[in-house]
């Protein structure tokens, strides 16, 4: 709720150590927190207990110093230094993309009020001017700052934020003012505003931190929240939320609605329609029983957000299977980003994964998003994940646990909504035993394992794969080849393909480049090492 890990949620299936050096638990980078401060442990089938680990400043439960192991109750507040953790909270906590501000979404039913006034001519003029300025902004974040400036001038709020709708109705805090604000509002208020298409307002209790030398207490204060719906392309896309101590008047609500209507397309740009290539999903070739089973598992994995680890030799089609998981799930409209971990230069690997701020690296003249940010709302494939160096394994584990990205040179983390699929041609469990790959990261990535056997073990897939490669390469290279002769087919079937599907694709491309004019690829058009496998007549 408060502190360096605000917005982070953790499942408590196993004991969770909380502390400044708790890399495998909940790490709080705070000098007031001991290296291993306290532990939350399962107690029975559903409950948990809290135990202090001899911390310097003590663990505080609901404002009282913890003196013995205590069973936790839903809604309990745990205070450690600058942090306040809530056990089974009746709310959700989000961190804004600015990395500093926090939004608490309560689950309490709202009792909002609204008005039926139309905006004044002056309000419409201000909304029109804002629409033009926001449309010219270089990014939604820049447009959000313009909108917040306009709202601040018109309403004199104490805090405001821009929310965007994510996958399956989730809410994301794009930006907030002032930087570092902690704002509480009802999730149902936002939902009602979007459903009704109206500006709504209601009183909402705000949680305010009061830190001292040992811990942070939570004080409650009264305020009023205004929520104006945002639309893009005629569909609900987000909301403008404004907080202040005094109630909002009808004229102010009408003005806020006009400003939100003008700024919606710039704050929440509509998702671009998929290109023809992206829209045509072609399932992987799966004629063999082994590939049919792999595709069945991939289809099941696509329906949930379980982590997937794809194993198999080089060239077996791990990236194609990862793309199938992406295209078959709810993240299909989002980006698919593939990053080869073995190709990362050590000095740039962290920035490639997590991005960097201006000046964080030599020649970094501006901020740059990393692979996680580029895959926002979609899927990130970490190919050859076993080749990540040890320091990056720690940071990757923290990112997967907290769903927060920390840019190189950045002040704080901000949330990302990304599904991670990992792939490797090496047996990672052996790397775990050898101490070169973290065991906790291995199990975090290995929620569901899908193995792709080599092509020599699934000969039923060879000819269908060859036909697919030919159909892809033929138009690109401008050749009018009808197919393969029977002799070429027999040769292709007989070869063991140590390089798997990648070697097969290269053989077809070489044949197209070097073969004389004709309608069919014959065995003589194939590479010598493939012809060597030609069966005897």
What are the tens digits of pLDDT across the range 440-479?
999 999 999 999 999 999 999 999 999 999 888 877 776 6
Q: What is the mean pLDDT of the chain?
A: 86
> What pLDDT does 322 receive?
95
The pLDDT tens digits for 177-193 are 888 888 888 888 999 99
Q: pLDDT grade, residue 273 (50/70/90)?
A: very low
More confident residue, 436 or 481: 436
More confident residue, 61 or 165: 61
The conformational region for residue 67 under phi > 0 = left, psi -120 to 50 = alpha, else beta, is alpha
> What pLDDT does 270 receive?
59
Within 10 Å of residue 16's Cβ, how many Cβ atoms? 19
Residues of the chain above pLDDT 70, percent: 93
Task: Give yes or no for residue 249 having a pLDDT over 70.
Answer: yes
Instruction: Pull the structure tokens for residue 103.
Output: 């939004």
> What pLDDT does 168 receive?
66
Out of 125-134, 230-239, 382-391, give the one with best mean pLDDT.
382-391
Spatial distance between the Cα atoms of 473 and 509, rounded to a whole number of angstroms? 7
| 3-class DSSP assignment, residue 196 | helix
The residue-averaged pLDDT of 43-55 equals 90
The string of DSSP codes covering 85-132 is: EESS-SEEEEE-TTSS-EEEEE-SPP--B---PPPPHHHHHHHHHHHH
The residue-averaged pLDDT of 364-387 equals 88
> What pLDDT does 171 receive?
82
The residue-averaged pLDDT of 31-59 equals 92
Spatial distance between the Cα atoms of 224 and 222, rounded to a whole number of angstroms? 7
> What pLDDT does 126 receive?
72
Q: pLDDT grade, residue 235 (50/70/90)?
A: confident
Q: pLDDT grade, residue 278 (50/70/90)?
A: very low
The alpha-carbon radius of gyration of the chain (Å, integer) is 28
Half-sphere exposure (Cβ direction) of 473: Cα atoms closer than 13 Å = 19
The residue-averaged pLDDT of 325-344 equals 91
Count of H-run helices and E-run strands, the chain: 16, 26
Among candidates 175, 195, 224, 188, which has minimal Cα distance to 90? 188
Whole-number Cα distances in Å, 146 to 26, 39, 122, 134: 36, 44, 18, 7
More confident residue, 117 or 270: 117
- Please list the residues that pair with 176 across neighbouring strands: 161
More confident residue, 33 or 475: 33
Task: Give yes or no for residue 409 having a pLDDT over 60.
Answer: yes
Q: pLDDT grade, residue 418 (50/70/90)?
A: very high
Q: pLDDT grade, residue 414 (50/70/90)?
A: confident
Q: pLDDT grade, residue 233 (50/70/90)?
A: confident
Instruction: Pull the structure tokens for residue 49.
Output: 């207990």
Residues of the chain above pLDDT 90, percent: 37
Dihedral over Cα of 180, 185, 190, 193: its sign: negative
Whole-number Cα distances in Å, 370 to 278, 305, 307, 337, 352: 22, 21, 20, 11, 5
Burial classification of residue 395, based on how many CB atoms lie within 10 Å of its CB (0-12 exposed, 13-18 middle, 19 or more buried): middle
Please, what is the Cα angle at 102 between 421 and 17, to 5 degrees?
A: 60
The residue-averaged pLDDT of 295-324 equals 94
Task: Give yes or no for residue 347 having a pLDDT over 60.
Answer: yes
Within 10 Å of residue 195's Cβ, how many Cβ atoms? 11
> What pLDDT does 468 receive?
92
Max CA distance (Å), the chain = 92
Task: Give yes or no for residue 276 having a pLDDT over 60.
Answer: no
Task: Give yes or no for residue 7 having a pLDDT over 90.
Answer: no
| 3-class DSSP assignment, residue 78 | strand
CA 18 to chain CA centroid, Å, is: 24
Instruction: Pull the structure tokens for residue 489.
Output: 């087919």
- Please list the residues that pair with 43 across neighbouring strands: 47
Cis peptide upstream of residue 178 (ω within 30 degrees of 0): yes
Q: pLDDT grade, residue 274 (50/70/90)?
A: very low
The residue-averaged pLDDT of 388-410 equals 88
Q: Average the pLDDT over each of 114-128, 144-158, 327-341, 450-464 and give the range with the smallest value.
A: 114-128
Spatial distance between the Cα atoms of 142 and 127, rounded to a whole number of angstroms? 17
Task: Give yes or no for residue 277 having a pLDDT over 60.
Answer: no
Q: Where are the beta strands (DSSP E) in 188-313?
A: 200-211, 216-232, 235-244, 308-312
Q: pLDDT grade, residue 149 (50/70/90)?
A: confident
Cα pseudo-dihedral 236, 237, 243, 249, rounded to 10: -40
> What pLDDT does 294 receive?
95
Beta pairing class for 159-165 and 171-177: antiparallel
Task: Give yes or no for residue 272 having a pLDDT over 60.
Answer: no
**pTM given for the model:** 0.80
Beta pairing class for 483-484 and 308-312: unpaired
Name the DSSP letter for residue 270.
P
Instruction: Pull the structure tokens for residue 364.
Output: 């970094």
More confident residue, 3 or 117: 3
More confident residue, 226 or 180: 226
- Please list the residues that pair with 405 across neighbouring strands: 414
In the chain, what are the domains?
16-90 (2.60.200.20), 121-267 (3.30.450.40), 289-451 (3.40.50.300), 457-532 (1.10.8.60)
- Please list the residues that pair with 80 across neighbouring strands: 83
Name the DSSP letter for residue 429.
H
Within 10 Å of residue 378's Cβ, how many Cβ atoms? 19
Task: Give yes or no for residue 155 having a pLDDT over 90.
Answer: no
Among candidates 89, 51, 55, 54, which has minimal Cα distance to 69? 51
The residue-averaged pLDDT of 209-220 equals 80
């Amino acid at each position: 709720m408060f502190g360096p890990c605000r917005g982070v949620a953790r499942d408590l299936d196993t004991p969770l150590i909380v502390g400044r050096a708790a890399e495998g638990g909940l790490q709080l980078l705070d000098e007031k927190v001991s290296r291993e401060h306290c532990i939350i442990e399962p107690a029975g089938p559903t409950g948990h207990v809290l135990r202090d680990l001899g911390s310097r400043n003590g663990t505080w439960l609901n404002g009282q110093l913890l003196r013995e192991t205590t069973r936790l109750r839903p809604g309990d507040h745990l205070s450690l230094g600058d942090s306040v953790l809530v056990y089974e909270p009746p709310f959700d906590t989000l961190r804004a993309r600015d990395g500093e501000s926090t939004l608490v979404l309560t689950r309490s039913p709202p009792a909002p009020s609204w008005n039926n006034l139309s905006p004044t001519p002056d309000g419409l003029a201000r909304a029109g001017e804002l629409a033009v300025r926001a449309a010219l902004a270089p990014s939604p974040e820049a447009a959000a700052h313009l909108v917040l400036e306009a709202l601040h001038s018109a309403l004199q709020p104490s805090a405001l934020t821009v929310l965007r709708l994510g996958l399956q109705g989730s809410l994301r805090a794009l930006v907030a003012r002032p930087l570092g604000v902690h704002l509480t509002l009802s999730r149902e208020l936002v939902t009602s505003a979007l459903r009704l298409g109206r500006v709504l307002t209601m009183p909402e209790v705000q949680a305010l931190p009061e830190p001292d030398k040992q811990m942070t207490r939570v004080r409650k204060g009264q305020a009023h929240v205004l929520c104006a719906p945002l639309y893009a392309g005629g569909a609900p896309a987000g909301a403008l939320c404004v907080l202040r101590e005094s109630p909002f008047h009808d004229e102010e609500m009408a003005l806020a609605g006009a400003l939100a209507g003008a700024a919606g397309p710039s704050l929440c740009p509509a998702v671009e329609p998929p290109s023809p290539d992206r829209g045509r999903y072609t399932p992987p070739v799966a004629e063999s029983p082994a590939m049919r089973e792999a595709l069945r598992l991939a289809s099941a994995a696509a329906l949930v957000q379980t982590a997937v680890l794809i194993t198999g030799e080089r060239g077996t089609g791990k990236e194609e299977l990862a793309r199938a998981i992406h295209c078959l799930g709810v993240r299909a409209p989002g980006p698919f980003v593939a990053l080869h971990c073995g190709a990362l230069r050590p000095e740039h690997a962290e920035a490639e994964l997590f991005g960097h701020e201006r000046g964080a690296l030599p020649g970094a003249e501006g901020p740059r998003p990393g692979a996680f940010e580029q895959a926002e709302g979609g899927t990130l494939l970490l190919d050859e994940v076993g080749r990540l160096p040890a320091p990056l394994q720690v940071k990757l584990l923290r990112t997967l646990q907290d769903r927060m990205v920390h840019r190189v040179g950045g002040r704080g983390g901000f949330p990302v909504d990304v599904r991670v699929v990992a792939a490797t041609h090496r047996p990672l469990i052996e790397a775990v035993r050898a101490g070169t790959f973290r065991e906790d990261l291995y199990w975090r990535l290995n929620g569901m394992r899908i193995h792709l056997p080599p092509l020599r073990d699934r000969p039923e897939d060879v000819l269908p794969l060859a036909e697919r490669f030919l159909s892809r390469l033929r138009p690109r290279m401008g050749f009018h080849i009808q197919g393969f002769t029977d002799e070429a087919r027999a040769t292709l079937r007989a070869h063991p393909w140590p390089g798997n599907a990648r070697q097969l694709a290269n053989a077809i491309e070489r044949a197209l480049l070097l073969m004389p004019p004709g309608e069919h690829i014959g065995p003589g058009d194939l590479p010598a090492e493939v012809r060597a496998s030609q069966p005897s007549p």
